[in-house]
Amino acid sequence: MEDLTKAEEKIFSAAKEEFIEKGFDGARMQAIADRAGISKAALHYYYRSKEKLFKKVVNFIFNMVFNSVKQKIEEKLSFEEKVHFIISMYIDTILQHKHMAFFLFSELMKHPQILDELIKKQEKITTLSAAYQAELEKGKIRSIEPRHLILNVVSMCIYPILGSPLIIRILGFSKTEYDAFLQERKEQVFEFVMKSLRP
Partner DNA sequence: ATTTGCCTTAACCATCCGGTCAAACCATGT
Partner DNA sequence: ACATGGTTTGACCGGATGGTTAAGGCAAAT
145 binds its own copies (CB under 8 A): yes
CA-nearest of 161, 147, 156 to 187 is: 156
Q: Could you tell which of DNA, its own copies, none binds residue 134, using a CB distance below 5 to 8 A set by kind?
A: none
61 binds its own copies (CB under 8 A): no
CA-nearest of 75, 91, 102 to 19 is: 102
CA-nearest of 92, 149, 91 to 125 is: 149
Q: Could you tell which of DNA, its own copies, none binds residue 89, using a CB distance below 5 to 8 A set by kind?
A: none
Binding mask 20-49 for DNA (x = CB under 7 A): -------xxxx-------xxxxx-xxx-xx
Closest to DNA by CB, 46 or 181 = 46
Binding mask 125-144 for its own copies (x = CB under 8 A): x----------------x-x
Sign of CA dihedral 87, 88, 89, 90: positive
- The Cα-based distances of 33 to 48, 103, 158, 165 in angstroms read 13, 20, 33, 29
Min dist. Cβ of residue 125 to its own copies (A)? 7
CA-nearest of 91, 100, 94 to 59 is: 100
Closest to DNA by CB, 52 or 147 = 52
- Longest pairwise C-alpha distance within the chain: 66
* Residues of the shown chain interacting with DNA in the complex, contacts defined by CB under 7 A: 5, 7, 27-30, 38-42, 44-46, 48-51
